[in-house]
Chains A and B, each alone.
Chain A
Amino acid sequence: MSVVPFTRSRELALRIDRIACEGHGACAELLPELLSLDEWGFPIVHRAAVPPELAAHARRAVAACPVLALRLERGRS
């Protein structure tokens, strides 16, 4: 009997409040696996779903956003 550690509903997804975002760029610095910046420094999300091994990095990126524009949500892509 195997136990599935992560169900779909517990998946983390990145969400950006595009109005709040001011292009500080901390998110892409801390989470280059999922985010990069356009030529004006505003984030491009390459993959919104956060794999479990990047969850800690994603939380750090969320905490680093000076305007709280980056969020992690569960079960919502």
Chain B
Amino acid sequence: MTAEAAYDEAHDATRALPLADGSRPGPHGTRLLAGWFRTGRAADLTDHLDRYGPLPATAPAPLRQAVDEAGLTGRGGAAFPTGRKLSTVAAGRGPAVVVANGMESEPGSLKDQTLLQLAPHLVLDGIALAARAVGANAAHLCVARTRTEQVRALRGALAERVRLRLDPVPVQLHELPHHYVSSEESALVHWLNGGDARPTATPPRPFERGVGKRPTLVDNVETLAQLTLIARYGPAWYREAGAPDAPGTTLVTLSGAVHHPGVYEAPMGARLGQLLDHAGAAAERLSAVLVGGYFGSWLPAEAALSARFTKQDLAQLGAGPGAGVLVALPERACGLAETADVLGFLARNSAQQCGPCRFGLPAVAEDFAALAAGRLDGPSLTRLEQRVGLLAGRGACRHPDGASRLAATALQTFAADVARHVQFGPCGGASTSPVLAVPQGAVPGPQEWR
């Protein structure tokens, strides 16, 4: 069976996948969110233990093997094979450290906050299991300081687990400054080591030398929740959803011109059009889709909707799954104005450490604003294209690379608009209210990173 046919069969909502505990799943075979669809409220520890029971007793090596065979990939953005990362950290020298990344600084994403709210114990189980899999004796959960309600709820959830002595490795909750680049893994490690929540120069990567110079596993909270289900139900069960080359389900945040924007769980390998169907499909004619978030790529609507949601398929189009963000851009909107807003955000929210982010990115953001406003002439457009090309690969982290990709795919996908803006000035779309809700706010001061 081809991957496409396998997906189409698995996607059939009438053929819902039963969870291994025999319970009925939610719509479209949801797993992580099955409890929510069943009860309509956040799962406390009692709900969680009733549904899933205590932690399975799987030994470290079989646990790592199960994750490997399941084909789980990281859900934070890079889509790196989780099993391989577990093995690398486990093979490192000395006891390891686990860091769960719940920062979710991507403005287009709500899935980690949703998961931590609705099923916190799937994540906390995942931290315990990952700690066992890599031989860790310390575990940290990092969230944004600004989300006080989330912090309060997680403190409660952790206290419940301490009372029942569920976690052999204690989990420390950390509230970090909330900036876009603070969720980058080296920034988390730097902060946990007592520094600023800003990315550091690599190598060494955290898996080599991270928190306390020890081998450190940094995983997104959804990845850890998926690991929890694999540990309980096994790789064969995990692969019943999704496609052979992209197994399992994934959380996606769907917004823009769709009928019901929100967080949904969907099979991996779905066509992007099928993903948007979860949110009630496009509410009007689309010109493009932003795939992967502010760090992502603009794809023309037609090509995007028929593309499959896998790392490989999206890479062929110059995109990636990112943290599962899809924004549907309606034809009436101006893709250049939207991109200019996002580039302004990325420029304000860099760590202000490296040349490309201190000078190149703000210049590109200014050029883009001028382009959207119809104030950029031909020679300046050529200069903009050169500046965009020079951002990638020249920072300590991938922040300038992400901004470069966003800008480059905008120039490509909206090429006809670019020519019209240069020749005739701004379009009508620039005066309509923007589709992307780009956060405003100033550049963080030097004291705001700790």
Seen from chain A, the residues whose Cβ lies within 8 Å of a Cβ on chain B are 17-21, 23, 38-44
Q: Beyond the given A19-B354, A38-B356, could you list 13 further A-B residue pairs with CB under 8 A, ordered by the A residue number?
A: A17-B396, A18-B394, A19-B353, A19-B396, A20-B201, A21-B355, A23-B355, A39-B387, A40-B358, A42-B355, A42-B356, A42-B359, A42-B394
Question: Within the assembled complex, what's the spacing in Å between the Cα atoms of A43 and B387?
Answer: 13
Does B201 lie within 8 Å of A18, measured CB to CB? yes
Number of A-B contacts (CB under 8 A): 39
- Chain A's closest residue to B198 (CB) is A19
Cβ–Cβ < 8 Å partners of B359 in chain A = 38, 40, 42
Binary flags per residue of B337-368, CB closer than 8 Å to A gives 1, else 0: 00000000000000001111011100000000
CB-CB < 8 A to B396: which residues of A?
A: 17-19
On chain B, the number of residues with a Cβ less than 8 Å from chain A's Cβ atoms is: 14
Residue in A closest to B395 when the chains form the complex, CB atoms? A18
Distance of A31 Cα from B201 Cα, bound (Å):
23
Those 9 A-B pairs whose CB atoms lie nearest each other, nearest first:
A42-B355, A40-B359, A18-B354, A18-B396, A19-B353, A19-B396, A17-B201, A19-B201, A18-B395
B200 touches A44 (CB 8 A): no
- The yes or no answer to B55 lying at the interface (CB within 8 A) is no
A38 and B360: CB pair below 8 A? yes
Nearest CB of chain B from residue A49's CB, rounded to whole Å: 15
CB distance from A19 to the nearest CB of B (A): 5
CB distance from B207 to the nearest CB of A (A): 16
Report A-chain residues with C-beta under 8 Å of the C-beta of B353: 18-19
Question: Does chain A have a CB within 8 A of B390?
Answer: yes
Residues of B within 8 A of A39 (CB): 387
Chain A residue nearest to B358 in the complex (CB):
A40
Q: What CA separation (Å) do A43 and B356 show in the bound complex?
A: 10
Shortest CB–CB separation between residue B379 and chain A, in angstroms? 14
A-side interface mostly: loop
The CA of A21 and the CA of B359, in the complex, are separated in Å by: 13
Instruction: Assess whether B394 is in contact with A44, with CB atoms less than 8 Å apart.
Output: yes
Interface string of B9-42 (1 = CB under 8 A from A): 0000000000000000000000000000000000
Contacts of A44 in B (CB 8 A): 390, 394
Residues of B contacting A43 with CB < 8 Å?
355
Which residues on the B side are within 8 Å of A38 (C-beta)? 355-356, 359-360, 390
- Cα–Cα, bound, A39→B358 (Å): 12
What separation, in Å, do the CA atoms of A36 and B394 have in the docked complex?
Answer: 13
Is the beta-carbon distance between B360 and A40 smaller than 8 angstroms?
Answer: yes
- A39 vs B360: C-alpha distance in the bound complex, in angstroms? 9
A20–B353 Cα distance when bound, in Å, is 8
Cα(A16)–Cα(B423), bound, Å: 41
A18 CA to B358 CA in the complex, in Å? 11
Chain B residues with Cβ under 8 A from A20's Cβ? 201
Central interface residue in B353, B358, B394, by most chain A CB within 10 Å: B394
Of the candidates A38, A39, A40, A41, the one having the most CB atoms from chain B within 10 angstroms of its own CB is A38
Contacts of A40 in B (CB 8 A): 355, 358-360
A-B contact pairs, 30 of them (CB 8 A): A17-B201, A18-B354, A18-B394, A18-B395, A18-B396, A19-B200, A19-B353, A19-B354, A20-B201, A21-B354, A23-B355, A38-B355, A38-B356, A38-B359, A38-B360, A38-B390, A39-B387, A40-B355, A40-B358, A40-B359, A40-B360, A42-B354, A42-B355, A42-B356, A42-B359, A42-B360, A42-B394, A43-B355, A44-B390, A44-B394
Residues of B within 8 A of A18 (CB): 201, 353-356, 394-396
B361-394 to A contact mask, C-beta < 8 Å, 1/0? 0000000000000000000000000010010001
- Nearest CB in chain A to that of B383: its residue: A39
